[in-house]
Amino acid sequence: MELREAIKGRRSIRKFKTDEILRSLLEGIMEEARWSPSWGNTQPWEFYLITGQPLAELKRLKREKELAGGPPAPDIPMQEKWPEAMKGRYGELGRLVLDTLEIPREDKEARNRYYLGMAGLFDAPCLLVACIPRDLRVEYAMLDIGLAVQTICLLAYDRGLGSCIMAASVLYPDLLRSIAAIPEDRRVVVGVALGYPDESYPLNHFERPRAKMEDFTNWVD
């Protein structure tokens, strides 16, 4: 696939078919993802690919925890307050999601159903979890993980798979630790839901807004 087509065509998929992904296909993606750049070629990442029964169990426990209102305790703290421009874009995404799904703002039940779907990883048959050693400074390690994760999403797209990078998938790292035997000395950074896109789901097709090039590019010449 042409690179530019992959960069533009990849988008967050928020409903997957339940079809399993062949192990050999996932191996091909991870094999090629090795070529992602990292600080000093340190390659600080470690990935766990959870599928099958362990994933079903993870989804069950995660839903249970969210329904019970269990307070999230992610290994990477979440942004609490956003600068105005970003707050605006975040809000716009929320509105687009509700509009596309035809959920009225005041329909709390329908919104909760959507969030429960997110807790169930949008039915993805695979969750890839990215980890780093706990004793690393997070700043550059996060950059390294980001580079690898985008590479993985593009490689997945090239193979006909959809992906959704999901902070929501790592709200309860202890659940992941127990299901995937992730050692205590690893920090769970982010998860990526992987699977075949359900093309009939409107949220997999809405038009995504982006800032204009001039809004974030400064020329110094």
Ligand X SMILES: Cc1cc2nc3c(=O)[nH]c(=O)nc-3n(C[C@H](O)[C@H](O)[C@H](O)COP(=O)(O)O)c2cc1C
Can you give the binding site for ligand X, defined by CB under 6 A? 11-12, 14, 93, 118, 164-168, 190, 208
Smallest gap from Cβ 116 to ligand X, in A, equals 13
Task: Tell me whether residue 101 or residue 118 sits nearer to ligand X (CB atom).
Answer: 118
Cβ-closest residue to ligand X? 168
CB of 147 to ligand X, least distance (A): 12
DSSP line for the chain: --HHHHHHH--B---B--PPPPHHHHHHHHHHHTT---GGG----EEEEEEHHHHHHHHHHHHHHHHTTPPP--SSPPP-S--HHHHHHHHHHHHHHHHHTT--TT-HHHHHHHHHHHHTGGG-SEEEEEEEETTS-HHHHHHHHHHHHHHHHHHHHHTT-EEEEEGGGGS-HHHHHHHHT--TTEEEEEEEEEE-B-TT-GGGTSPPP---HHHH-----
Strand-pair partners of 190: 130
Least distance from ligand X to the Cβ atom of residue 181, Å: 23
Q: Smaller CB distance to ligand X: residue 93 or 211?
A: 93
Q: Which is nearer to ligand X, 23 or 87 (CB)?
A: 87
Measured from the CB of residue 86, what is the shortest distance to ligand X in angstroms?
12
Question: Which residue shows structure tokens 């400064």?
Answer: 218
Nearer to ligand X, 154 or 179 (CB): 154
User: Side chain identity at 3, as an amino acid letter?
Assistant: L
Among residues 181 and 212, whose Cβ is nearest to ligand X?
212
Residue 23 C-beta: closest distance to ligand X, Å: 26
Which of residues 40 and 209 has its CB atom nearest to ligand X in the complex?
A: 209
Provide the terminal-to-terminal Cα distance of the chain, rounded to the nearest Å: 35
Closest CB to ligand X among 154 and 168? 168
What is the nearest approach in angstroms of ligand X to the Cβ of residue 37?
18
Tokens of 28: 């091909």
Closest approach of ligand X to the CB of residue 20, in Å: 22
